[in-house]
Amino acid sequence: MKTRYLDARTPDGLKASVAAACEILRAGEIAALPTETVYGLCADARDAKAVGKIFEAKGRPQDNPLIVHIATPEALDEIACNIPDAARRLAEKYWPGPLTMIFEKKSVIPAVTSGGLDTVAVRMPSHPVIREVILQSGIPIAAPSANRSGSPSPTTAEHVTADFDGVIPLIVDSGCSQFGVESTVISFAVQPPRLLRPGSVTAEQLREELGEIAIDDAILHPLAEGQRVSSPGMKYRHYAPQAQIVLLKGDAAAFSAYTRRHAGDGVYALCFDEDETVLPAVRYGGQADPAQQAARLFAALRELDERGAKLVYGHFPQSDGVGLAVCNRILRAAGFRVIEIESERK
Ligand code: TXA
Ligand code: MG
């Protein structure tokens, strides 16, 4: 298949991209579109056959449900039921934006889309491309991140191209994703509401609106053998580059000293802009700027692979605010390998 590329960064380009995407979705095909979090691989959420093409292209396990993207508050009631007032308040405050909420699903959403669950994840994205496509086509869009299952989520059209050139009919380019990590996912299908995936809408912000929330154990800890998961996505290895990543928890001086002692062939650092290290370094943002770390992390993981890194020492980020999302993604990329370096004598 020949992939068509369109650039949505000019007014004319935006118009052409939206028109082309609407046509493809209406025809039951799939397309990669930018969102404000990461690029998404899109299909009509109501069309089981079209959604099946997403699973096939990604190599995604059938039991891993997709998020349905909408553009109006009314659309929520068309696909979900038993929506608590608290969720409506969150929607008012954070939609359109990087927040996904899970509810009981209605029958217009087929089982393939929801991974066989009786719940559905819903998000109203703010990015003008996907938003306009939903508004103009009237189609609720099922979209996972536009990467092959297991590789880091795409934050540029080049990342999408690396995984899907010649595999899907359309890739729309809108430059770097604004947030760079996938949306916050919170479930209202359980009481109290449970944070399943941290993102740019923070746990602190959710608590402010909801009071008590549960934080899923799988966010910061590896699953025990046979453990039940609240979100099927957590079962699978994620965000993983080829290189083996080991996270170092400690201050700048300890990081610098540790990486000096462990330098070698193919050994790289994944560190903050301020860090000093003798290792060849890929940097993922200012040490005190978790939003910037979120925006740059996935591209940094891909760059490490491109540069042929074999072993990577990553500097562990802070875990409050958006930092929780960064911790969650980098821990998974590292397979939860963490070494405390503060206690070591230099
Ligand atoms: O920012 C985002 O959310 C991006 C953009 C494209 O919108 N999408 C995205 O989708 O990250 P995906 O499929 O890569 O991640 C969706 C996550 C998965 O971990 C999945 O298991 C979980 O949400 N999920 C979806 N529906 C669910 C449900 N009904 N119950 C529990 N978890 C669900
Ligand atoms: Mg994904």
pLDDT in tens, 17-70: 999 999 999 999 999 999 999 999 999 999 999 999 999 999 999 999 999 999
Closest C-alpha residue for ligand 1 atom 24:
65
The amino acid at residue 237 is R
Phi, psi of 100 (to 5 degrees): -115, 135
**Ligand 1 close to Cβ of residue 177 (< 6 A):** no
59 close to 148: Cβ distance less than 8 angstroms: yes
The verdict on the CB of residue 97 being under 6 Å from ligand 1 is no
pLDDT digits (tens, 9 = 90+) for 130-166: 999 999 999 999 999 999 988 899 999 999 999 999 9
Task: Tell me how far CA of residue 60 lies from CA of 43, 64, 249, in angstroms.
Answer: 15, 7, 33
Residue 346: the pLDDT is 47
Residue range 33-46, pLDDT digits in tens: 999 999 999 999 99
Say how far apart CA 113 and CA 88 lie, in whole Å: 23
Q: Report yes or no: 33 and 133 within 8 Å, Cβ to Cβ.
A: yes
Q: Among all ligands shown, which has an atom nearest to the Cα of 181? A: 1
User: Does ligand 1 have an atom closer than 6 angstroms to the CB of 232?
Assistant: yes
Give the Å distance between the CA of 144 and the centre of ligand 2: 5
Mean pLDDT of 304-317: 97
Mutate to test the pocket of ligand 1, among 82, 185, 329 (most ligand atoms within 8 A of CB): 185
| Domains within the chain, CATH numbers bracketed | 4-219 (3.90.870.10), 244-340 (3.40.50.11030)
Query: Closest residue (by CA) to atom 12 of ligand 1?
Result: 144
Predicted pLDDT at 345 = 52
Mean pLDDT of 216-228: 84
Per-residue pLDDT, 267:
98
Please tell me the number of the ligand nearest to residue 64's CA.
Answer: 1
pTM of the shown model: 0.96
Dist. CA 222–CA 206, nearest whole Å: 24
